[in-house]
Amino acid sequence: MNTQRIYRILISGGGTGGHIYPAIAIANAWNEKHPSSEILFVGALGKMEMQKVPEAGYKIKGLPVAGLQRRLSLENLKFPFKLLKSLTQASQIIKDFNPDAVVGVGGYASGPVLYAAQRKGIPTLVQEQNSYAGLTNKILAKRAKKICVAYPEMDRFFPADRIAYTGNPVRKDILDLSGKREKALTHFGLDSAKKTLLVLGGSLGARTLNQAVLADMHKLDEEGYQVLWQCGKFYFQEMKSKLAESGLTTIHLNEFIREMDMAYAAADLIVSRAGALSVSELSLVGKPVIFIPSPNVAEDHQTKNAMAYVSHDAALLLKDSEAVGALEQKVKALMEDTKLSETLRKNIKNLAKPNAANAIVEEIELLFA
């Protein structure tokens, strides 16, 4: 293949970090290999990709598309009109940009864009991050040239002959954590003599995880553990106030942790939601994990993501409904069981796909073969 050719790649989707960060990682990997390319993103107006993509140095156009609400809502009455407008705008964007290939990473915008591209005969690639395929991707995959997946056995949802098991692209800084532990402990003000529990509820926060830490933080302190806690911006002031009342000095609260590589390096055990990107990152980190899946996501994706790892003895699961009042007991049991910890550590690492972004780039290249 002539790597000097100027490719025009359109990447669509977003809505959450789990869609946006893999999309940006794919764009970065493509640009490294084909620096003369032109890349355009298409996202949903008002969603975080409209900010995050330009921050990463790429152009983006927004569509008015939005999802259906699961509860009765006036917004649902607007859905067909927004969808029709988005399909019209997506067709115009494709006509103006004239892409060589279109990549859909999931999220609201990927539906209209890939549908419009497929109607025009432009080759499309779908990237499915979850272990349970969403409805939009299942529909789009019928006419996609390639479907890149992050979990085995996805032929339950997609044609087996078009699946590539690539994994989810993640941040490069977590690919190698060796030698970062001491620096990480110093950075977060942690005690090197204590075991560290890292609690992650996502950038916005997770009420159940926060309530579970609040309920058990005195017990965790009594057991001699320290907690590095990302509570999310929605809950930060409330958690900060309650932590101050407790007087505990072993609970290290953060609204958001930017230096995730160091947080992972400092951790002995990690408690996390089970979003697709989090699960993929944690497989690379290779530490014992307890997943507490969010029950508030479409098609219960997070439980299915977590179970794909639990079924391989690569992680433990604690139900959201049982987490408050049971966290310390689960943490203590795993911290003290070195044999189980080592099994989880080894098995989760076996599921890692460290070269996912480059693998997806190779699949995009095959669209032109």
pLDDT digits (tens, 9 = 90+) for 214-262: 999 999 999 999 999 999 989 999 999 999 999 999 999 999 998 999 9
Q: What is the pLDDT of residues 36-54, one digit of tens each?
A: 999 999 999 998 999 999 9
Mean pLDDT for 131-141 is 90
pLDDT bin (cut points 50, 70, 90) of residue 172 is: confident
pLDDT of residue 299: 81
Residue 46 Cα distances to 49, 50, 77, 263, angstroms: 8, 7, 19, 30
pLDDT of residue 315 exceeding 90: yes
Question: What token pair was written down for 74?
Answer: 């006036």
- Per-residue pLDDT at 4 exceeds 80: no
CB atoms within 10 A of CB 324: 17
Please give the DSSP secondary-structure letter assigned to residue 68: P
Mean pLDDT score across all residues of the chain: 93
Q: Hey, how many other C-beta atoms are within 10 angstroms of the C-beta on 154?
A: 21
What are the tokens at 64?
Answer: 């008015």
Instruction: Confirm if 318 and 291 have CB atoms less than 8 A apart.
Output: yes
pLDDT of residue 213 exceeding 90, the answer is yes
pTM for this entry? 0.89
CA-based nearest residue to 200, from 301, 269, 150, 107:
269
pLDDT value for 202: 73
Cα distance from N-terminal residue to C-terminal residue, the chain: 8
The model's pLDDT over 52-86, given as tens digits with 9 standing for 90+, comes to 999 999 999 999 987 655 566 676 677 788 889 99
Q: Looking at residue 181, what is its pLDDT?
A: 96
Percent of residues in the chain assigned helix, strand, coil, to nearest 5: 50, 15, 35
Q: Which residue matches tokens 């002539």? A: 2
pLDDT of residue 2: 47
Residue-wise pLDDT for 94-125, tens only, equals 999 999 999 999 888 999 999 999 999 999 99
Residues contacting 142, CB < 8 A, separation 6+:
159
Distance CA 271, CA 47 (A): 27
Q: What is the pLDDT of residues 151-167, one digit of tens each?
A: 989 999 999 999 999 99
